[in-house]
Copies of this chain bind each other. A is one copy, B any other.
Amino acid sequence: MKPTIKDVAKSAGVSFKTVSRVINRESSVGEEIQGKVWKAIKELNYQPNLSARGLRGSSSSIGFIYDNPNSNYVIEMQRGILKECHNQGYELVIHPCDAKAPGLISEIFNMVDRSRVGGLVLTPPISEIPEVLDALRERNIRFVRILSGSQAPDNRSPCVFVDDRTAAYRITQYLIDLGHRDIAFLSGDEEHKSSSERLAGFKSALKDNQIKANNRLILKGEFSFESGVKRTRQLLARSSRPTAIFACNDEIAAGTLFAARLHGLDVPRDLSIVGFEDSPFSRQAWPNLTTAQQPNTEIACTATRLLTEQIRRKKGEKASESEGYYPQLIVRDSTCPPAAP
């Protein structure tokens, strides 16, 4: 059978409590004994029983809650969380859910109770639902939010924010620099903050370049291929067409590209398209999509680190600071200067 802490103790010639102390890096164990204990641990290939730990003491796992149709995003996040969990000695419990389900909060509570997680990593749109955050705070469940914004929305709990606004500003500036003036914006789901942040960056860039924002060129929609197709067809059916379209993410951009084809347009000659996300699609489409890239795996690592710091923090110690990330513009082949009128 698997070696236990007592086997290690016997092998090292100390009491099993001392082994426990060594493993948990408590001070007040002599150097010499520490050496003997570590040696025995290595020899027996001992690994602490997580069930026993969890039974007696604090939780040793964290939860990852998400509701996102974008597989790539979820996998990248998951990889980052897992990596940091491994570093810090935590287990990961994943929980996909439906942000719009009426019982969401009790579902989350159930999951926390069942799996005894010590904290949660929340991604958009869950991380942006005030009711969820309030409920978690009320029940003293620790969490880190990953969300869209140019700064942390509050300092009640640490978060990782992604500055979509500045990235959208830069993308728009890039289009303007190419010579575009009639730029349409296809937004994503209204309740996603990334949608409004990207729109804000877009508008801000227009303003700074003295281009009057044209509300007819700003279309509401969802973060989906179908939405991209539908809105783009509406735009292209008009008598005066934009020369460029800023799609709020790559999936919408995929729809835009598709609709452009339906209308017989050549991208980018007749219409420039930009997306946001650097999804696999953007690298495999014809033409490759100009887009913005954010380091999702790294973001997830950071978020997990902030969470574990928070879990381990003793009363009185000061909280970790929120951290920010800035998506990078990736120029590919779906953009070029507008055709001469």
Interface residues of A (CB under 8 A from B): 2, 45, 47, 49-55, 71-72, 74-76, 78-79, 82, 91-94, 96, 110, 113-116, 225, 251, 254-255, 257-258, 261, 280-281, 283-286
Contact = CB atoms under 8 A, between A and B. Distances in A.
- Chain A at the B interface: SS class: helix
B47 A51 contact: no
Nearest to A46: B113
A47 B110 CA distance: 9
A74 B284 CA distance: 19
Contacts of A225: 280, 283-284
Contact of A75 (B51, B75, B283): B75
Nearest to A72: B71
22 contacts: A2-B113, A45-B113, A47-B114, A49-B55, A50-B51, A50-B54, A50-B116, A51-B53, A51-B55, A52-B55, A71-B72, A71-B74, A71-B75, A71-B280, A72-B72, A75-B75, A79-B96, A92-B93, A225-B283, A225-B284, A255-B284, A258-B286
Contacts of A72: 71-72
Contacts of A113: 2, 45, 47
A115 B82 contact: no
Contacts of A94: 78, 82, 92, 94
Given A49-B55, A82-B96, A93-B91, A285 B285 contact: yes
A248 to B, nearest CB: 16
B51 A116 contact: yes
Given A51-B116, A71-B71, A91-B115, 7 more contacts: A50-B116, A51-B51, A72-B72, A79-B96, A91-B93, A92-B93, A258-B284
Contact of A284 (B52, B71, B93, B281): B281
Contacts of A45: 113
Given A55-B55, A116-B49, A261 B286 contact: yes
A79 to B, nearest CB: 6
A2 B75 CA distance: 33
A79 B286 CA distance: 31
A38 to B, nearest CB: 17
A255 B45 CA distance: 46
A336 to B, nearest CB: 16
A158 B218 CA distance: 55
A284 B45 CA distance: 50
Contacts of A283: 225
Contacts of A47: 110, 113-114
Contacts of A74: 71, 75
